[in-house]
């Protein structure tokens, strides 16, 4: 007979889904070996050349299962207003009825894996536990790398620790309701997909997809969508942010968290190689930060993940040498191309593609093909412990005290290279109004903007306006002298000819240096309508060919175009049905007034 809530839940889901057998996972090397061998045997995995890429594998998904499915992702809160205008909402009871129908018999002929995992170091006060049920051994192996899978989690739960139940199925039973068995495919999935979150009961149900954040339920589902609602209720923050430690030549170390929408340089900053002599940047996390007030009165952050689920295309020794070192071994690659000597390749890895490849769908490919060899969203999954820049603090149970929070977007116009907020409220306003310009063809006076507040648009598990209020409340609950300073950065500003004004990549360490100097009070700043800007003589440009004109362009604040942007922000705020925090309305009003005075 089941002995506790966890065992009862597993028994209930098994009764619903009807698997052939049940395996309780332990995260061991033995389990890794057994499951990789199983996936190689059934054709889901291709073992890569052991001499070139030890203990590494390539998986190819179904063409219809290659990315997060945001239009099939739902917040099933009891009240629609709690989901807010940025989320898809479904009534929870009706959704549960639909899901139970889909999951009924969904694992016939398959093994049901029970995966106890911890988000964060298992003994950390900031850690939270989950148990994912899945019929995908590919998911189990990725969870090995991305979370801390351990029987210790089961022991914690048995002792009374709270946990998040997460059920996943690819929705491809091998035995029909008549008992007839069919052959498996190398990538089972279902055309119908649902990724559902139930904030009040802290449940995750995912059906139909075997890919990435749709199926690795510790990833975006628990760490952000359910995580953000837990954080709201418990007084902390669950954020789509990297965490780094930056140490100056004098040995002074600062910790930064940074929120960037996709394609804005997030992973490159997480693994930054500074060009300034004597500076060192260490990686604590590349994607998720859980941030809470600590006993020392400061905001402290942990990376709740144990691995990296990185985008492969564009990653190279030139753009991110540390990532390339990280994935030399013990890595799962998904939807990249296969070389003739049994290694992997993707666009941007080398200047010239090989003469022949097997592309991500398994077909022959040559440079004459008009389509890419690797899928644009192809990925690598690897343990964070393998990163050469990983910090000794990355799995510190107490986390690291944050000195600064950075917000960034991809902006060809308007936004300077770096600007400091006036105070916490202004910093939250910066985060709430993050945007990226879509394409040059779509640009208007200040560019066609795609808003992604706090880089959380697809991931906030409740009403975004309430989320902004929560940010205000958490920060204002911290003594002012102990709050992180807030900055906005933009590596992507262009001149009138469409050329980037800033070299980016390792040179972004100069921005990190200026931010550290501002925190220490070592440099002054000039006031502007949008915040505090660097003074040229106090911004390290040594060795860079940046003219006075270019510097002024990089930091230009044009009142006319900013007035247009302020009006766009006013219209954007109207989407939230009058729920915008008063402080953010005040920030917009103050910005408009400052611009009008120029």
Catalytic residues: 264
Mapping DSSP to helix (H, G, I), strand (E, B) and coil, where does residue 114 land?
strand
532/419 Cα distance (integer angstroms): 5
Among 196, 215, 200, 223, CA closest to 129? 223
Strand order in the sheet with 253-259: 280-285, 242-247, 253-259, 404-408, 485-489, 418-420, 531-534, 525-528
Mapping DSSP to helix (H, G, I), strand (E, B) and coil, where does residue 430 land?
helix
Q: Give the residue carrying structure tokens 């933009």.
A: 490
424/418 Cα distance (integer angstroms): 16
Beta-carbon contacts of residue 90 (< 8 Å; ≥ 6 apart): 74, 76, 196
477/36 Cα distance (integer angstroms): 48
Under DSSP, the state recorded for 576 is G
89/110 Cα distance (integer angstroms): 31
Angle at 466 (CA atoms; ends 426, 69), nearest 5 degrees: 105
384/160 Cα distance (integer angstroms): 29
Q: What are phi and psi of 383, to 5 degrees?
A: -65, 135
158/161 Cα distance (integer angstroms): 7
User: What number of other Cβ atoms are within 10 A of residue 589's Cβ?
Assistant: 12
Contact between residue 108 and residue 176 where contact means Cβ atoms under 8 Å apart: yes
Counting Cβ atoms within 10 Å, is residue 129 exposed (0-12), middle (13-18) or buried (19+)? buried
Contact between residue 465 and residue 383 where contact means Cβ atoms under 8 Å apart: no
544/417 Cα distance (integer angstroms): 15
539/541 Cα distance (integer angstroms): 6
Structure-block tokens of residue 283: 């990686």
CA distances (Å), origin 227, targets 202, 240, 317, 453: 9, 11, 34, 17
The partner residues of 128 in beta bridges, in order of sequence, read: 119
User: What number of other Cβ atoms are within 10 A of residue 346's Cβ?
Assistant: 27
467/303 Cα distance (integer angstroms): 20
Structure-block tokens of residue 183: 């052959």
How far is residue 115 CA from its own chain's centroid? 21
DSSP for 49-67 reads: PTTTSTT-EEE---TT-SS
């Amino acid at each position: 007979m089941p002995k506790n809530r966890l065992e009862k839940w597993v028994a209930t889901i098994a009764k619903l889904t009807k698997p052939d057998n049940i395996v309780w996972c332990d995260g061991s090397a033995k389990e890794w070996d057994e499951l990789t061998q199983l996936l190689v045997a059934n054709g889901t995995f291709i073992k890569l050349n052991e001499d070139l890429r030890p203990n590494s594998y390539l998986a190819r998904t179904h063409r219809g299962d290659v990315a997060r499915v945001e239009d099939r992702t739902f917040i099933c809160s009891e009240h629609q207003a709690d989901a807010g205008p940025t989320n898809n909402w479904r009534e929870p009871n009706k959704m549960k009825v639909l899901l139970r129908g889909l999951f009924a018999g969904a694992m016939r002929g398959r093994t049901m894996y029970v995966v106890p995992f911890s988000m964060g170091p298992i003994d950390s006060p900031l850690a939270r536990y989950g148990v994912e049920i899945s019929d995908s051994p590919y998911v189990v192996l990725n969870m090995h790398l991305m979370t801390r899978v351990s029987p210790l989690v089961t022991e914690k739960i048995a002792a009374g620790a709270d946990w998040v139940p997460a059920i996943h199925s690819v929705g491809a039973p091998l035995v029909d309701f008549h008992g007839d068995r069919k052959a498996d495919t190398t990538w089972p999935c279902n055309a119908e997909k649902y990724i559902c979150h139930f904030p009040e009961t802290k449940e995750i149900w995912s059906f139909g997809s075997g890919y990435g954040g749709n199926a690795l339920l510790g990833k975006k589902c628990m760490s952000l969508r359910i995580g953000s609602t837990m954080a709201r209720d418990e007084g902390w923050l669950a954020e789509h942010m990297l965490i780094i430690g930056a140490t100056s030549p004098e040995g002074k170390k600062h910790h930064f968290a940074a929120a960037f929408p996709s394609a804005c340089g997030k992973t490159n900053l997480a693994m930054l190689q500074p060009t300034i002599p004597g500076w060192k940047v260490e990686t604590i996390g590349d994607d998720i930060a859980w941030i809470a007030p600590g006993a020392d009165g400061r905001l402290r952050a942990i990376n709740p993940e144990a691995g990296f689920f990185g985008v492969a295309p564009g990653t190279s020794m030139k753009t991110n040498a540390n990532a390339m070192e990280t994935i030399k071994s013990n890595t799962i690659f998904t939807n990249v191309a296969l070389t003739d000597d049994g290694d992997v390749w993707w666009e941007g890895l080398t200047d010239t593609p090989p003469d022949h490849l097997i592309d991500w769908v398994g077909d022959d490919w040559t440079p004459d093909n008009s389509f890419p060899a690797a899928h644009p969203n192809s990925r690598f999954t690897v343990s964070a412990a393998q990163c050469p820049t990983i910090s000794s603090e990355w799995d510190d149970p107490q986390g690291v005290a944050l000195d600064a929070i950075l917000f960034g977007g991809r902006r060809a116009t308007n936004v300077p290279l770096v600007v400091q907020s006036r105070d916490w409220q202004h910093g939250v306003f910066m985060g709430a109004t993050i945007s990226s310009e879509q394409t040059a063809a779509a640009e208007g006076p200040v560019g066609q903007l795609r808003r992604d507040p706090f880089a959380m648009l697809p991931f906030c598990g409740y009403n975004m306006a309430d989320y902004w209020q929560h940010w205000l409340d958490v920060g204002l609950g911290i003594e002012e002298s102990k709050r992180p300073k807030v900055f906005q950065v933009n590596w992507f500003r262009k001149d009138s000819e469409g050329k980037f004004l800033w070299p980016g990549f390792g040179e972004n360490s100069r921005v990190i240096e200026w931010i550290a100097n501002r925190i220490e009070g070592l440099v002054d700043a000039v006031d502007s309508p949008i915040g505090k800007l660097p003074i040229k003589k106090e911004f390290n440009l040594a060795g860079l060919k940046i003219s006075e004109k270019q510097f002024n362009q990089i930091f230009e604040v044009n009142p006319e175009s900013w007035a247009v942007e302020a009006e766009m922000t006013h219209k954007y705020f109207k989407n939230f049905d009058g729920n915008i925090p008063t402080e953010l309305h005040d920030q917009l009003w103050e910005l408009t007034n400052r611009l009008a005075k120029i």
